Amino acid sequence: MACGAELKTTGERPYADPEAAARKLLELAGQVEPVQDGRIHIEKINALFLFTLKASGPEFGAGIRYAVQHGWLELHESGTYVRVLPPGEGLLRQ
């Protein structure tokens, strides 16, 4: 292995579980100032999730799908923004 190469641990990834990823995405969405009509640009939470938390793209996708399926988030058909729905707002207060 080259000097300075990053070693990955074999421990469990914290957002490998879609529910955990979805809950974290809701938490991140709660930190972002929505624009018109409660819209949160997807790149705002995507950047935090991928680059700040070092999660993966598949974890992000699974988390978004889980949140949408459970009525926590609404994902616009264009994929450019989400909206936190009332069931998701309840999770923000916990």
pTM for the structure as a whole: 0.83
The domains found in the chain, sorted by start residue, are 18-92 (1.10.10.10)
Count CA within 13 A, CB hemisphere, residue 22: 22
Distance of alpha carbon 21 from the chain centroid: 6
Amino acid residing at 85: L
Extract long-range pairs of 5-9: CB within 8 Å, 24+ residues apart.
none
pLDDT value of position 90: 84
CB 60 within 8 A of CB 49: yes
Q: What pLDDT does 82 receive?
A: 97
pLDDT (tens place) for every residue of the chain, 94 residues total: 444 444 444 468 999 999 999 999 999 999 999 998 999 999 999 999 999 999 999 999 999 999 999 999 999 999 999 999 988 888 876 4
Bridge partners of 41?
81
